Amino acid sequence: MSACWEITSIRRWLIALLLIVAVPFAAGNADSTNPARRGLHSWSVRWQPKRVLNGSPVLLQVSSPQRLESLSGKWLDHEVFFSFDAPSKTWRGFAGASLETKPGKYALTLTGKTKSGNEISFEQAIPVGKANYRQISVTVPKQYTEPGPEQLREIDQDKAIKQRVLGQVSPEREWLGNFLPPVSAPISDVFGTARVFNGNVQSVHQGLDFGVPAGTPVAALNAGTVLLAQMLFFEGNCVVLDHGQGLLTIYMHLSKFDVKEGEQVKRGQQIALSGGTGRATGPHLHVAVRWQGIYLDPAILLKLSLP
């Protein structure tokens, strides 16, 4: 009986030891890619999309081991602003990888401040892959590839306006919920396409084109503030919305404005009518997404599941 009891005790001890060792290796949630160390007293970092490519917007979701008053981050040399989402008890932030980002792993550095004023920090590597983008040839009026003195003056004036408007970064989040398509129409050209204008001028298509006739109502992708509603040389009639956390959406080649600068708009609100103004081969809507000075793929943004 004594030997049997000893064998049983050893078995129980081995089972308990295996359970203790196994706990730290519990699988992370399926909606994250390589989540940070998980547990009751650790950080957790998740992101969308699961596979980040150059040109991708990135939605970050962070939980911390202590209750925080604020959270800030840095990724790819850009500041990342976070806001607290009470229902999920997590911090949400927006970031992005530019078209020029080379494949590799890039550290997201997080710094949180507790109620008592102490700082805690964490670092999580986020891998970035390489996307495949195509090349096309486009023909436009000669003034857009070989501008004269008058056009050059207009271009210089526009450049100053764009630097002022597109350089603005407001840390407070204005967007709420998923981003919606601006029109109900097929996409006629995708993000990242290398364009050869009139055989000798090259550029990269930094947005999405929707094949719509002139006069089609254009809706705001999400809630925000109108930073610009003005005619520009290349962009034509252009609207820029600030959604907070450094995120802007840009609507080009419009025929009519339905908003004015400084106005706050709701997600899905009509802001303009489509057209073919500026450097355009015909009537269509061009939509761009810009985050802290870099352009990101709007098609990916429209697929993200946002709170």
The larger pLDDT score, comparing residue 27 to residue 246, is at 246
Domain residue limits, the chain: 28-129, 135-301
What region, left, alpha or beta, does residue 8 occupy, with left being phi > 0 and alpha being psi -120 to 50 degrees? Answer: alpha
230 contact partners, CB below 8 Å, separation of at least 6 = 161, 237, 238, 261
- Could you tell me which of 95, 265, 254 has the C-alpha nearest to residue 180? 265
Report residue 28's pLDDT band, with 50, 70 and 90 as the boundaries: very low
Residue 26 has pLDDT above 50, yes or no: no
* Per-residue pLDDT at 77: 96
What pTM, to 2 d.p., does this model score?
0.78
Domain 28-129 fold is: Immunoglobulin-like (2.60.40)
* Per-residue pLDDT at 121: 96
Average pLDDT over residues 136-164: 70
* Per-residue pLDDT at 288: 96
Strands 187-189 and 208-210: antiparallel
Average pLDDT over residues 130-145: 68
The larger pLDDT score, comparing residue 3 to residue 221, is at 221
Q: Return the CATH class of domain 135-301.
A: mainly beta
Q: What pLDDT, in 10s, does the model give residues 225-258?
A: 999 999 998 899 999 999 999 999 999 999 999 9
* Per-residue pLDDT at 245: 92
* Per-residue pLDDT at 11: 44
- At 293, is the secondary structure helix, strand, or coil? coil
